[in-house]
Amino acid sequence: MKDKVVLITGASSGIGRALAFAFGREGARIAICGRKADAMNVVSDELSQAGIDVFALTADVSIEQDVKQFIEQTVEHFGRLDILINNAGISMRSMLIDTDPAVIQKVMDINFMGTVYATRYALPYIQQTKGSIVGISSIAGYRGLPVRSGYSASKFAMNGFLEAVRTELLHTGVHVLTACPGFTTSNIRVSALDAHGQAKGETMRDETNMMSADECAGYILQAVKDRKRELILTAQGKLTVFINKWLSSLADRLVYNTLAKEKDSPLKK
């Protein structure tokens, strides 16, 4: 990773922040963006204090011009782009029957269209370096999760998009990785939107035994080094994907029962 330029969206906290440190400690130069200027400034200062060369910009990935400008300014600043990590994401938690469709639209705009914008505008530069495109997806991109229909849809869309792009780029030397963490300690559940688009403000799961963001970032870093096609993390995540593929009716019941145990779950126990 020495002197590679790594662009990470949604890097103000959680897995994005951990990825910035993981790649930065390997000698990469880091470009990060996020929607909240104060949070971005804090992470940028932390990276600089750790001796990591960082370029930070406040940007909203759901806005095409923001993404285009971020990529162009990164290349202008560092002179190249080697690795794009599509990490920016938001979740939602409500039954579909109660959900304002605008909430699902917002989730799709950030999680899916943000990935489309960044990948499209970064691609010419990554083709020059024969670099990597990474999507931080989810087990919810393989198995639809009740009470998270919009989130699951966005991750299924991301998975299909990256698979298509990987195939298009088959003979170009560009590497495409779909990384799917299981439940990981991050603020995505705290910031999950309710039926009316308001952040929940608290996690609904016991995060005691979850994989840490730093551990997750370490696995993703290694997968990029190995130029892997796919990365599915946690034993629960791997088992969920396996059961859903081969025993789908059983998966319906297991997933329902598991998520019904969450705090304040609207699912009947």
Active-site positions read 151
**Gap between the Cα atoms of 263 and 158, Å rounded:** 28
Of the candidates 24, 55, 18, 2, the one whose C-alpha atom is nearest the C-alpha of residue 136 is 18
Q: Extract the tokens encoding 14.
A: 């959680």
CA angle 180, 182, 184 (to 5 degrees): 115
Distance CA 114, CA 185 (A): 22
Give the other-Cβ count within 10 Å of 77's Cβ.
13
* CA 126 to chain CA mean position, Å: 19
Phi, psi at residue 193, to the nearest 5°? -85, 145
Calculate ∠ Cα 104-152-166, nearest 5°.
Answer: 110
| Residue 184 β-bridge partners | 211
Give the SS3 label for residue 173: coil
Return the bridge partners of 84, or none.
Answer: 7, 133
3 state DSSP class of 142: coil
Beta bridge partners of 92: 193
